[in-house]
Amino acid sequence: MRWLISLAVLPLLVACSEQQMCISRATKDLRQVQSFIKEAEGNLGRGYALVEKEYIDYDIERCGTNDEGKPIFCRVPDVHTRMVPKSIDLDAEAAKLAALKKKEAQLQIEANAAVEACKVQYPE
């Protein structure tokens, strides 16, 4: 099964150039911090956070037959995920956002240098 997934991903990797893969690796941390910034800004804008919560319902499905040929029905769990509001400390969220923006500026400088190095190492 693992090799099947590898075969499915292989065309995607082949489609990327060495330079694109290098740039992607060089900007990974920056993109992650930018994702956290977007989340924190959303939380502050709403005034609360959104978190995933799983709910389990049960469906009744036919799961076989008995010796007499009559159907047997079983309860099968059906898991649903919903986003639900969660209260947050707005002051702490604002402080977190400020720290993330400071980190983003630092990572942007590092990423720019790394991207330039990738362009030199893997010219197209």
65 inside domain: yes
How far, in Å, are 30, 112, 114, 117 from residue 120 at the CA level?
20, 13, 10, 5
Contact 56/77 with Cβ under 8 angstroms?
Answer: yes
Same domain, 63 and 117: no
**Domain check: are 21 and 43 in the same one?**
yes
Torsion angles phi and psi, residue 84, rounded to 5:
-125, 150
Residue 71's domain comprises 50-86
Q: Say what the pLDDT of residue 98 is.
A: 98
Taking only the tens of pLDDT, the chain with its 124 residues reads 555 555 555 555 556 899 999 999 999 999 999 999 999 999 999 999 999 999 999 999 998 889 888 999 999 999 999 999 999 999 999 999 999 999 999 999 999 999 999 999 988 7
Read off the pTM.
0.70
Q: Within this chain, do residues 39 and 98 fall inside the same structural domain, yes or no?
A: yes
**Does some domain include residue 99?**
yes
